[in-house]
Amino acid sequence: MLADDPVNYLHCSAKFYTTGEQGCYEVLHYLELADIDLTR
């Protein structure tokens, strides 16, 4: 089922940017991704 609003979509960062609340995933700056070891 589609969300009626981007804020209500589970995997969208809109909730964080409009309300300041973290969703199910932490919102990171894209440069922080370089510090994550994705080979594990």
In the block, which residue shows the tokens 């973290």? 22
Q: Across the 40 residues of the chain, what is the mean pLDDT of every consecutive 10-residue run?
A: 84 85 82 84
pLDDT of 40? 82
**Residue 15 CA to its chain's centroid (Å):** 8
Query: What separation in angstroms does the CA of 17 have from each of 3, 24, 25, 29, 36?
Result: 17, 14, 13, 12, 22
pTM for the full predicted model: 0.51
pLDDT of 9? 86
